[in-house]
Each structure stands twice: as C-alpha cells, then as structure tokens.
Amino acid sequence: MNTTVDQADFFKTLEEKSDGGKLRGDYSNCDERYVVRQDWAAYTPEQHALWRKLYQRQAKLVPDRACELFIESLDRLNAADEIPRLDRTTEALHKATGWELVAVPGLIPDLTFFEHLAERRFPVTVWLRDPGEFDYIVEPDIFHDFFGHVPLLFNPVFADHLQQFGKGGLKALRLDALKYLARLYWYTVEFGLIESPRGLRAYGAGILSSGGEIEYCLTSPKPRRIGLDAERIMRTLYKIDSYQETYFVIRDYEQLFDATAPDFAPIYERLKTQEALPADTLLPGEVNIPPNA
C-alpha cells in the first residue's frame, strides 16, 4: 500500500482550511514522510535567548500545575539553556522508552502524523515562534512540541499509550472517523486535566507549553471541567484559537488507558448518526468540577 501523502494535495486542503492558506514552515526539503534535518547551526543567538525565556517562564509555572509524571521527566530534557538538538534528546529517549524524535517543517498530514506515532516516532517542528508570539501561537512550534510533549514520552506507560493512539488514528482514517479521534486527542493529549491529592493538575501538552492557559485551566471559573468519557469527548467540537471552553478530567492514567482500550468502531458508527456538541456544552446530569482555589 502506498501510504505517502501527495504534497500537492496536502497544501490544497490547507488552502481550503486556513485563512492565508499558508504554513510557516519550509516544506521544500522534506522527504515523503515529511522529515527534515534540523539545521541546528542556523538558529540565531536571539532565538536561543527567546527559547531560554520561554523555558524559564514555563519551568517556574509547572511545579504546582503540571501532573507528577511531567515534573519528574522535565529534567531528562536537558534543554533549559538553548534550543535542543533533537538527535541528542533522541539518544536519551530511545534508551528510556524506544521513542525517537523526528524533525518536521510544521504541521503535517494526519495520515503521516499517525504513522509516525504508530512507529514510535514523535514529529517535532523545527521553527521557533517570533518574540511577538511569546504568549500565544496558532501553529505549534518547537517549544510547544518539545516542552509540551517530550517529557511524557520518557514515561513507558504514556509512551505506549501514544503509540496506541497512532495505530488508532490509522484505523480511524480507514473508518472515515478521524474527526472523532482528533477530538479525543485534543481533549486528552493536548488539553487534559488530572486529579491529584493537591487539586487539579494539567497533563495536556497544549496547556503545559502555554504561559496563560496553564493557570486559566486550573483556576478560572469560566470553563467547564467534566469527568472523562471518551464517547462524549468524541462528540464535542473544539476551538483552536482561544483558551478551551471545556476541559475533561481524568482520575488517574488507568482511567484514560481503560477508556481508550476498547474497539472504537461501534462508537464511530453511533457518532456518525449524532449531532456534534458545541465546545461549551454541559449536558443534563453532568457534574461541573470546581476549579482549584
């Protein structure tokens, strides 16, 4: 089976989806899996300085706000001082959990993304945001991909979970159900919260790499916080250009692994007959978990 994605098709879909129809990255040198070489020498001193500022701010915020597993693994990154060399992190990561990082120009097609995950390769964008985007970026950059996602890849159980997600993504594509799985990915891997003895904590990468949302998601009275229910999540729309209107909360990782273990095919069939729910929905009977004080 030829599973490579035609690049012309990919760019055409993007034009239809996004305003400018343009991505930030340089796609001219990537291979058929969208892998590039990270040209580390090309990063400027200003970019390394910006990385340090981003890292320092976030490292200060995580101790009271991130889940224990993330905090434990953060030191393994060894990336406080400069933009990391992905091949060096890969050496340590491969020893720990058998995962590799691959450099990519930016967003890549869904199929390619899930193929990488299914083969224990995590795609990391090579470009860094501009100084004016210190607080907020729309497309994921190297800081989000690396700081947000890589720590949990050092945990063997979470690392396995993400590989299962990759396989699940390929299956969802075959079943014409990718949008449902994408919602699950969004509300767990990217924006998930977890209960802890000291209140709510974040485990989602989109939160952990954000200076503002990491506090907002835990303490603001505005968003909804609902206990994990995979089928409910897969019915729920999401916004990519604002803080989330709803967060889904797990009791522990077991709950997440148990909820994602079953065959989703019958769930997809059901979902295809139902209306999607707006991101700010609270259904009758759902408990809105209070924020941290």
Q: Does 256 bind Fe ion (CB under 5 A)?
A: no
Q: Which does 292 bind (CB under 5 to 8 A by kind): Fe ion, ligand PHE, none?
A: none
Q: Which is nearer to Fe ion, 148 or 223 (CB)?
A: 148
Q: Does 292 bind ligand PHE (CB under 6 A)?
A: no
Question: Min. distance of Cβ 160 from ligand PHE in angstroms?
Answer: 9
Which one of 168, 192, 206, 223 is in contact with ligand PHE (CB under 6 A)? 168
Q: Does 186 bind ligand PHE (CB under 6 A)?
A: no
Question: Min. distance of Cβ 249 from ligand PHE in angstroms?
Answer: 17
Q: Which does 205 bind (CB under 5 to 8 A by kind): Fe ion, ligand PHE, none?
A: Fe ion
Question: Min. distance of Cβ 255 from ligand PHE in angstroms?
Answer: 13
Q: How far apart are the first and last CA of the chain?
A: 53
Q: d(Cα 220, Cα 87) in Å, to the nearest integer? A: 39
Q: Does 255 bind ligand PHE (CB under 6 A)?
A: no
List the Cα angle 86/88/94 in 5-degree steps: 95
Q: Which is nearer to ligand PHE, 240 or 261 (CB)?
A: 261
Q: Give the binding range for ligand PHE (CB under 6 A) out of 116-124, 125-133, 160-168, 234-242.
A: 160-168
Q: Which is nearer to ligand PHE, 120 or 171 (CB)?
A: 171
Q: Does 187 bind ligand PHE (CB under 6 A)?
A: no
Which one of 86, 193, 205, 250 is in contact with Fe ion (CB under 5 A)? 205
Q: Does 264 bind ligand PHE (CB under 6 A)?
A: yes
Q: Give the binding range for Fe ion (CB under 5 A) out of 64-72, 198-206, 217-225, 259-267.
A: 198-206
Q: Encode the chain in three state secondary structure.
A: CCCCCCHHHHHHHHHHHCCCCCCCCCCCCCCCCCCCCCCHHHCCHHHHHHHHHHHHHHHHHHHHHECHHHHHHHHHHCCCCCCCCHHHHHHHHHHHHCCEEEEECCCCCHHHHHHHHHCCEEEEECCCCCHHHCCCCCCCCHHHHHHHHHHHHCCHHHHHHHHHHHHHHHHHHHCCCHHHHHHHHHHHHHCCEEEECCEEEECCHHHHCCCCHHHHHHHCCCCEEEECCHHHHHCECCCCCCCCCEEEEECCHHHHHHHHCCCCHHHHHHHCCCCCECCCCCCCCCCCCCCCC
- How many residues interact with ligand PHE (rule CB under 6 A)? 9
Question: Min. distance of Cβ 171 from ligand PHE in angstroms?
Answer: 5
**Under the rule (CB under 5 A), what is the footprint of Fe ion?**
205
**Under the rule (CB under 6 A), what is the footprint of ligand PHE?**
164-165, 168, 171, 260-264
